Amino acid sequence: MTEISRSEELSLSGAALRGAPWKAAAVAGGGIAGVSLFMGWVLPGSPSLTWALGLGISLFALVAAIGAVANPQVGDRTTRQARLWSLQHPWKFALLPAGITAVLEYPVQLLFDGEGIFDAAWDSLWRGALVYLIAGIITTAMKGRARSSQ
């Protein structure tokens, strides 16, 4: 088996995410952000827009990632092969959703939380690392789908 480059791994992850349930991910992320913000108003303490948006972004990326590999036999040939690769290499696949989370989270931390550029980067990297861990674990648990699809 030949080794593939990092850019090819990124392309395979992106191809697998091409068929992700983006509408469901947006609804889930927006819904949890709204609920989180509402709970901040209802419960004692002050609501945190930064926390709510961060939670929504994280759930958005997780739903997209898990939904993308949930049905590896669906889609065109390229998407199916990318999904099978993602299920066989869950930790490499999880890097893209984690990166998406960190990139989307950075302006939220920077603008809404009023942090400096380094603190905002640090917080977004931590949130991305959490998404990486969760997506990697769930995708690893789904590895059997890759074997049953071949």
Provide the residue-wise pLDDT of the chain in tens; the chain has 150 residues: 567 888 888 888 888 888 899 999 999 999 999 999 999 888 887 778 999 999 999 999 999 999 999 888 877 888 888 899 899 999 999 999 999 999 999 999 999 887 789 999 999 999 999 999 999 999 999 887 666 555
- Report the C-alpha gap between 45 and 42 in whole angstroms: 9
- Residue 131 CA to residue 123 CA, distance in Å, equals 13
* pTM of the predicted structure, to 2 decimals: 0.88
| Number of other residues whose CB lies within 10 A of the CB of residue 88 | 15
Contacts with 140 (C-beta within 8 Å, 6 or more apart), sequence order: 90, 91
Q: Is residue 23 part of a domain?
A: yes
- The residue among 61, 68, 51 whose CA lies nearest residue 26 is 61
Residue 38: inside a domain: yes
Domain assignment present for 80: yes
Q: Identify whether 140 is part of a domain.
A: yes
Give the tens place of pLDDT for each residue, 118-137: 999 999 999 999 999 999 99
Q: Does residue 101 lie within any of the structural domains?
A: yes
Is 93 within a domain? yes
> Which stretches of the chain are DSSP H helices?
6-18, 22-42, 49-70, 77-88, 90-93, 95-111, 117-141, 144-149
Number of domains composing the chain:
1
With respect to residue 40, please indicate whether it lies within any of the assigned structural domains. Answer: yes
